[in-house]
Each structure stands twice: as structure tokens, then as C-alpha cells.
Amino acid sequence: MSFPFAEIEKRLGYVFKNKALLEEAFTHKTYSNSFGGKHNDRLEYLGDAVLELVVTEWQYKKDEKATAGKMTSQRQKLVCQPALDSAIDALGVYGYLRYKGTEYNLKGKPKSSLFEAIVAAIYLDGGYNSAKRFIVKHGNIHIEPQTTNAIGELKEYLEKRGKPQATSSFTRTGKDNAPHFYCTLKAMGEEAEGEGKTKREATATAAVRLLWELKKKNK
């Protein structure tokens, strides 16, 4: 079966000059090991660095008074696995990932790794500014849960459309004196994840991401 270049490019909003880079970005090593060709591990590695640079530059220019410590803490939330997973879900491209066997064989972080691989592919194909435009448009770097009434905004968004309120579920890790919470919110057939030191912080992060996905889907 031929690789659906045009379909993926339409979703990404970027047309590749070197189509091989796009194909490599969507090839998991389980597929490569079975059928040959390059897989996306190296692109993932490069994309992680490009993503961090773009986010850091955005932070640096956005808030001149922010300390390095504050920016580091914020950046961790903006480039964490749930944030990148959410971005891939919003793009609707995860189903194009080529792998061998069942989804269990993917293990690790296949969605966030795919986002980083896409970033690297665009960077190599079109340069830093192209990668930056993609990240700013499709990533989650605009999310600032600590300054947003995300939970209230999500509730109001659903109420105005006559939809049921979001359902939530939580998991917890860490020691009793230093817990870390993960929240999954679901509404209108979409879901998003968030994390934080408290349930409310995790819920707020998830709410911002879910609201972003709902607005993007229902423009």
C-alpha cells in the first residue's frame, strides 16, 4: 500500500520537498526491522532538541521578567508527554504511524515521539522557521494553566453548547509528602491529559488542552 503523503501533509499544514523525511517520521522501528528502511528514532532525538529550543525562545521573548527557574518549570509542562500526545490527537495523524504487530509492541511514548519526529522532519526539510511555525500552531506552547481559569472556561464552553460536563479520572504517583497527579478529562468525544502537584493543577492543565482541542475541532 502506498504511503499517504498528501493526506498527512494536509493535516500537518506543511508540504515536504523531501518526501522521504515524512515517511521516515511515520515509521516505527518495529516496521523498519521487519520491512527495511529508516525508522524515526534519530528524528525523535533531533526533534526533542528543536522543540525545546523553540519553546525556550518563545518563553524568553514572551516574559522578560521570568526567572530561569520559572521558565524551566513551565517548559517541562509544555513539552511533557501529555502535551505532545494531545497535539498529535488534535492533528489526527497517529493512525498513519507504520508499525509491525499490535499497538502493544510500540511501548514507550509513541505519540509524543511521533510529534518530535515530525518536528525534526520539518526542520530538516524547511529549516528552523518552518519547524517553529509548526510548533507554535500545533503544539501546546500557548498553554499557561497557572494564569487561566481553564476549568471554568471549559464548563462554560460545554454549557453554551448544551453538552454534558467533562468526566475526569485521576492517577497518582510519588511519595505521600511529594505526590504527583495525572488527570484525564473527556467531553464531546475528545479527551486530554494533564499533570501537576495537586489534583486541581492537573485538572486545569487537562482542561486547557481539552478546550483547545474542542475549539480546534469545532471551529
For the residues 148-162, what does the mean pLDDT come to?
A: 87
Quickly state the pLDDT bin for 90 (edges 50, 70, 90): confident
pLDDT at res. 109 = 84
Task: Let me know whether 126 and 78 are in one domain.
Answer: yes
Last residue of a domain, one of 99, 118, 138: 138
* Contacts with 184 (C-beta within 8 Å, 6 or more apart), sequence order: 168, 169, 170, 191, 192, 193, 206
Task: Let me know whether 123 and 164 are in one domain.
Answer: no
pTM for the model: 0.68
For the residues 175-194, what does the mean pLDDT come to?
A: 85
- Determine whether 164 is exposed, middle or buried from the number of CB atoms within 10 Å of its CB (0-12, 13-18, 19+): exposed
Task: Let me know whether 120 and 163 are in one domain.
Answer: no
Task: Let me know whether 134 and 149 are in one domain.
Answer: no
Which residues belong to the active site?
48, 116
Helix axes 110-126, 41-62, angle to 10 degrees: 80
Last residue of a domain, one of 138, 168, 185: 138
Task: Let me know whether 10 and 112 are in one domain.
Answer: yes
CATH number at residue 183: 3.30.160.20
Task: Let me know whether 96 and 156 are in one domain.
Answer: no
pLDDT tens per residue across span 186-219? 999 988 877 777 888 888 878 887 887 787 777 6
Task: Let me know whether 102 and 158 are in one domain.
Answer: no
DSSP H or E segment with residue 155: helix 150-160
Task: Let me know whether 81 and 179 are in one domain.
Answer: no
**Contact between residue 82 and residue 194 where contact means Cβ atoms under 8 Å apart:** yes
Task: Let me know whether 16 and 124 are in one domain.
Answer: yes
For residue 148, is pLDDT > 70?
no
Percent of the chain with pLDDT over 90: 40
DSSP symbol at 27:
B
More confident residue, 184 or 219: 184
pLDDT at res. 9 = 95
Extract the runs of DSSP E, i.e. beta strands, from the chain. Answer: 167-175, 178-187, 190-196
CATH number at residue 119: 1.10.1520.10
Could you give the CA distance from residue 110 to residue 85 in angstroms, rounded to a whole number?
A: 9
Residue 93 belongs to domain spanning: 5-138
Task: Let me know whether 46 and 132 are in one domain.
Answer: yes
Percent of the chain with pLDDT over 70: 92
**Contact between residue 190 and residue 213 where contact means Cβ atoms under 8 Å apart:** yes
Which amino acid makes up residue 180? H
pLDDT tens per residue across span 30-77? 899 888 889 999 999 999 999 999 988 888 887 788 889 888 877 777
Task: Let me know whether 208 and 132 are in one domain.
Answer: no
Could you give the CA distance from residue 30 to residue 47 in angstroms, rounded to a whole number?
A: 20
198 closest CA partner among 216, 172, 169: 172
In the chain, the number of structural domains is 2
Task: Let me know whether 102 and 193 are in one domain.
Answer: no
DSSP symbol at 174:
E
Last residue of a domain, one of 110, 138, 166: 138
